[in-house]
Amino acid sequence: MSPRDRQQRSSKGHQDFCIKNIKQADFGRREIEIAEQEMPALMALRKRSGGEKPLVGAKVVGCTHITAQTAVLMETLSALGAQCRWAACNIYSTQNAVAAALAEGGFSVFAWKGESEDDFWWCIDRCVSLEAWQPNMILDDGGDLTHWIFKKYPNMFKMIKGIVEESVTGVHRLYQLSKAGRLCIPAMNVNDSITKQKFDNLYCCRESILDGLKRSTDVMFGGKQVVVCGYGEVGKGCSAALKAMGSVVNVTEVDPICALQACMDGFRLVKLNEVIRQVDLVITCTGNKNVVAREYLDRMKNGCIVCNMGHSNTEIDVVSLRTPELTWEKVRSQVDHVIWPDGKRIILLAEGRLLNLSCSTVPTFVLSITATTQALALIELYNAPEGRYKQDVYLLPKKMDEFVASLHLPTFDAHLTELTDEQGKYLGLSKTGPFKPNYYRY
């Protein structure tokens, strides 16, 4: 029976939600409590800003993955004064027990694992189509919620003070709307905030490339010949990690600046065709299309592993491998052998989708960075004085970004130095930041 067909009720009589099973609430609560221990920044935010409740009056409608980490975020927003209604941004990713705990806690949450396409939009609609409750802030991940309001309830934007968007895709849509002159409220691009970028890409991928490869293939890294396609933050992380494990790493690039960085970091900069016959491992990190085209797959040696760490599932031309002369053999979850007529096997991971999402996990610390950034972006947009933000897409103010970072320093028992008055004056800086010009590159 679909959750839509069954009215449930929390122990306190709350009914304004639609989830799988309210009885899983206790188990979900424990998951949330564990997550709280690893998200000290949000907990600190509750304490630090708690007295003032900077989100009093905020009615946040959200559409994100529904996980224990999101629950910590939602309960933080609530503690800061906000009311929340929430749907899932993905039909598979909802943790049902967590959704139950949220419902039990009084949240209006509409999400379950395994929604249909129709369910998906129904849930989103239930979040916003309410007479008694008009949202004034949007927290989106992917842009579907924003899109739905645009399409169905355009007038609602008159009441909304701003959109906070996390994903590459959603941000892209917002910039397009802005370009087209159709963005009617301020939006904050938290995807490109500095701290989040560094953690999502460089720091996270440095670890997940090793983890993803080990879990899926048990490959030994020492002595392996590798080519990393693309030397952005993801490529830098992957290359550094494999070099440290004793692999011989080659890099391909189209951008001469990144290419020069690869050289100075000790990697051979090559074209793919120069090394494709000899490498044991091909990793794509470009965000580009058909980087590993069929012609390269044809020339790889037997046993070569191919995987994607970039931003889409287009980097490896997997479609070109779905031809009659090639045999596919699934050897494990997420691991296929593609077999050529002469017996050569290519080991394709996650069918060309993102290795780090498919075969590895994202550390809670990284999710904490993201959630804290979202919370601060909501606070900033909600409290910004008239006129600070126009109908445009903004990056998180540097000072907020610095605040996100500072909230995460205690995890490392890290002690920040404070400028003296004299030093602040000498540098022309406030002692509380921001500490760098906007063009600073970190």
Nearer to its own copies, 213 or 379 (CB): 213
Q: Where are the alpha helices (DSSP H) in 276-420?
A: 294-299, 355-358, 364-383, 398-408
Strands 327-332 and 335-339: antiparallel
Residue 77 or residue 248: which is nearer to its own copies going by CB?
248
166 is in an annotated binding site: yes
The verdict on whether residue 36 carries a ligand-binding annotation is no
- Ligand-binding site membership of 233 (annotated): yes
Please check if 47 is assigned to a binding site: no
**Residue 380 assigned ligand-binding role:** no
237 annotated ligand-binding residue: yes
The secondary structure of residue 300, as a DSSP letter, is: S
DSSP-H helix ranges across 229-351:
233-244, 256-264, 272-275, 294-299
Which of 43/60 has CB closer to its own copies?
43
Instruction: With CA atoms as reference, report the closest residue to 138 among 238, 35, 62, 245.
Output: 62
CB-CB contact of 291 with 315 (8 Å): yes
Other beta carbons less than 10 A from residue 197's beta carbon: 17
Based on CB atoms, which residue is closest to its own copies, 8 or 312? 312
Query: In b/e form, how buried is each residue of 286-299, taking b as 16+ CB within 10 angstroms?
Result: beeeebbebebbee
275 is in an annotated binding site: no
Q: CB 297 → its own copies: shortest distance, Å?
A: 16
CB of 422 to its own copies, least distance (A): 7
Q: Which helix (H) or strand (E) holds 169?
A: helix 168-179
Smallest gap from residue 429 Cβ to its own copies (A):
8
Name which of 75 and 280 has its Cβ closer to its own copies.
280
CB nearer to its own copies: pick between 56 and 244: 244
CB of residue 280 to its own copies, shortest distance in Å: 9
**Residues facing 305 on adjacent strands:** 281, 347
**In whole angstroms, how large is the CA radius of gyration of the chain?**
24
Smallest distance from the beta carbon of 347 to its own copies, in angstroms? 11
E strand segments, 151-290: 162-165, 187-189, 225-229, 248-252, 268-269, 281-284
Least distance (Å) between residue 221 CB and its own copies: 6
**Is residue 151 a known part of a binding site?**
no
Annotated binding site: 67, 141, 166, 196, 200, 232-237, 253, 356
Annotated binding site for substrate: 67, 141, 166, 196, 200
